[in-house]
Structure 1
Amino acid sequence: MIALESVTCRYEGRNRGDENGVDGGGTVAVDDVTLSVSDGEFLVVAGANGSGKTTLVRTFNGLVTPDAGTVSVNGVPVSEDLVAARTAVGMVFQEPRDQLVSATVGGDVAFGPENLGLSHGEIDRRVAVALDAVNMTDREDDRIDSLSGGERERVAIAGALAMEPDHLVCDEPFTWLDEPARESVLARLRELHAKGTGVVVVTHDLRGVLELADRVVGLADGRIVVAGPPHAAAPDLAGLGVRVPEAFDSAGGAGRPTDS
């Protein structure tokens, strides 16, 4: 369980809406958010660029420290045990190159478990299981710089899975992918969720992912303004500058899809 209570995050610089750039405490990126993510839940966090999505999910494992409020994972405050939080909450960044650190696929997936001080046998087991989960078995020796964008995304997911997290958080995982790669990543996330891993997908493009979700929260100006099951939330999501699938127009009565 991930639990946020009255979380607020600010950044230095211009305040939101301050045309003169006067610094009155910095931009509020996340504004008094209370949210819980249950074990095994598939949660979609939706919103336009600048809505606070990335900042919000990076508080889940201490990559961002809130200015106010508390974040806990499995009942333990993140600030008290960063290692436990980052083991329980695996993060896949929007740009895989930001987290791929080794020259080869196997080396990269092994990086996290190695830093936990695990035995060689356990590291090998985790690498094999993680690569199998993203359909990249026997690709350990492939060089990272030879991979396509979709393959790099899958390696990044495998690296997070090798930590055996309770929750896998993917921040805009489809941004650089063509349609076949997008479908491949969606299939992997669907399978992981079916096996019990909690999945959080941060996105402004809900095609293919909305039907997988148990729940959707929509952000605007750092606040949760929409929350609920996909069909109940769909009518209000298009107004947040996100792309809503046409299927939810007809089935759920959602507004017109937008490519914003």
Structure 2
Amino acid sequence: MITLEDVTCRYGAHDRGEDDGDAIDDSVLAVDDVTLSVPDGEFLVVAGANGSGKTTLVRTFNGLVRPDSGTVSVNGTPVSEDLVAARAAVGMTFQDPRDQLVSATVGGDVAFGPENLGLPREEIDRRVEAALDAVDMAGRGDDRITTLSGGERQRVAIAGALAMEPDHLVCDEPFTGLDEPARESVLTRLRERHAGGTGVVVVTHDLRDVVGFADRVVGLDDGRIVVDGPPSEAVPTLSDIGVRVPAGFDAAGDDHAGRSDEP
């Protein structure tokens, strides 16, 4: 379980005025007093337009961003008290996998997290093999990262997160820049992990790929939650905050048209 209580995050400076000592706040409010719970095993979509605060919000889940106020807990323990446990329990992939792929080879990158946990070599190898198999890249541990397509890099990033054997897998805009076959491949991997009991959180400005698989949709606007509920209740309101929704998605939650690439 991931739990946020009254979480606020700001970016920028908090300075004192030079002349009269008045406080000058040049910061940007990215997340504004958010309270949220993410149960184990849930497929959650966090939706919002660019700049809505959704990336900042999910990065508080495992301490990549530390809130200015409020508390984030994972499995009952505040993230600030045990970052290692939080990052083992909450795996995360970034919008651009190049921001997190740190090794020259596929196997080396997937092994990076387990190695940092200090696990025995045999256990690391087991996890790497299982994670690569889970993303349909078994036997490609020696491939160079530089030779991979965008979709393959995204799958390696997911494998790296899975090698930590997390309770929750958080993917930030996992379909950006991918063609249709690559999107389908990544989505299949996420659905399989969810079916296997892993909680999945997808962060997106475009619901067309994932809304049919979501248990719940949280809509974010200007750092605040504006809707939180099942897709049938949440989706009809999301186009008003700049989120793409499937054409033909009605109030009953049916996506009659399927995925469309029309704006």
Shift of 1:251: 4.9
Map 1:67-106 to 2 at 5 A: 67-106=68-107
1:80-139 Cα deviation digits (max 9, x unpaired): 000000000001011100000111100100011011111111001000110011010101
Distance 1:250 1:173 in 2: 26
Question: 1:189–1:253: structure 2 CA closer, same or farther, 3 Å change rule?
Answer: closer
1:166-187 Cα deviation digits (max 9, x unpaired): 0000001111211110111001
**Amino acid across the alignment from 2:6:** S
Shift of 1:240: 1.2
**Amino acid across the alignment from 2:163:** A
Shift of 1:231: 1.1
- Provide TM-score, normalisation by structure 2: 0.92
Distance 1:54 1:23 in 2: 26
**Amino acid across the alignment from 2:154:** E
Distance 1:236 1:158 in 2: 34
Aligned counterpart, 1:3: 3
What are structure 1's unaligned runs of at least 5 residues?
Answer: 15-21
Contact 1:50–1:221 (8 Å) recurs in 2: yes
Aligned counterpart, 1:161: 162
Aligned counterpart, 1:47: 48
Map 1:180-195 to 2 at 5 A: 180-195=181-196
What is the count of residue pairs matched by the alignment? Answer: 252
Distance 2:244 2:180 in 1: 15
Cα RMSD, aligned residues only? 2.0
Contact 2:233–2:251 (8 Å) recurs in 1: no
Aligned counterpart, 2:230: 229
**Amino acid across the alignment from 2:86:** A
**Secondary structure at 2:186 match in 1:** helix
1:20-54 Cα deviation digits (max 9, x unpaired): xx952511100000000000000000000000000
Distance 1:113 1:140 in 2: 15
Aligned counterpart, 2:58: 57
Contact 2:88–2:166 (8 Å) recurs in 1: yes
Contact 1:55–1:64 (8 Å) recurs in 2: yes
Distance 1:250 1:222 in 2: 25
What are structure 2's unaligned runs of at least 5 residues?
Answer: 15-22
Shift of 1:259: 7.1
Q: Which runs of 4+ in 1 moved over 6 A?
A: 257-260
Aligned counterpart, 1:116: 117
**Amino acid across the alignment from 1:161:** L
- Provide TM-score, normalisation by structure 1: 0.93
